[in-house]
Structure 1
Amino acid sequence: MADNRLISVEIDEETLSSSGPDAEHERRVAIFDLIEDNSFGVIDHDGGPYLLRLSMMERKLVFQVRSEEGEDVHTFILSISPFRGIIRDYFLICESYYSAIKTQSPHQIEAIDMARRGIHNEGSELLAERLEGKIEVDFDTARRLFTLICALHAGQTRAP
Structure 2
Amino acid sequence: MTEKAAHRLQSIELDEDSLSAASRDQEQERQVAIFDLLEDNYFEPAGAEAGPYDVKIALVENRLVMAISGPGYEQTHVLSLSPFRTVIKDYFMICESYYAAIRNSTPAQIEAIDMGRRGLHNEGSALLQARLEGKVKTDLDTARRLFTLICALHWRG
Normalising by structure 1, we get a TM-score of: 0.86
| Aligned CA distance change for structure 1 residues 72 and 12 (closer, same or farther; 3 Å) | farther
Residues 1:60 and 2:63 are matched in the alignment: yes
81-90 vs 21-30, greater mean Cα deviation = 21-30
Q: How far off is 1:24 after superposition?
A: 4.8
C-alpha contact 2:8 2:44 (8 A) present in aligned 1:
yes
- Cα deviation per residue 1:98-132 (whole Å; 9 max; x = unaligned)? 22233333222211111111011100100011011
Q: CA RMSD of the aligned region, Å?
A: 1.9
Partner of residue 47 from structure 1, selected from 47, 50, 72? 50
Query: What residue number does 1:103 align with?
Result: 104
Q: How far off is 1:7 after superposition?
A: 0.1
Query: What residue number does 1:19 align with?
Result: 21
SS at 1:52's partner residue?
strand
Query: What residue number does 1:92 align with?
Result: 93
SS at 1:64's partner residue?
strand
**1:1-160 → structure 2 map (5 Å cutoff):** 1=3, 2-14=5-17, 16-19=18-21, 22=24, 24-68=27-71, 72-154=73-155, 157-158=156-157
SS at 1:44's partner residue?
coil
SS at 2:148's partner residue?
helix
C-alpha contact 2:101 2:110 (8 A) present in aligned 1:
yes
SS at 2:41's partner residue?
coil
Q: Mind listing any 5+ residue stretches in structure 1 that lack a counterpart?
A: none
Q: How far off is 1:12 after superposition?
A: 2.1
Q: How far off is 1:25 after superposition?
A: 4.5
Q: Mind listing any 5+ residue stretches in structure 2 that lack a counterpart?
A: none
29-38 vs 19-28, greater mean Cα deviation = 19-28
Corresponding pairs, count: 153
Q: How far off is 1:72 after superposition?
A: 4.8
C-alpha contact 2:19 2:152 (8 A) present in aligned 1:
no
SS at 2:7's partner residue?
coil
User: C-alpha separation between the residues in 2 aligned to 1:100 and 1:21?
Assistant: 16
| Aligned CA distance change for structure 1 residues 109 and 27 (closer, same or farther; 3 Å) | closer
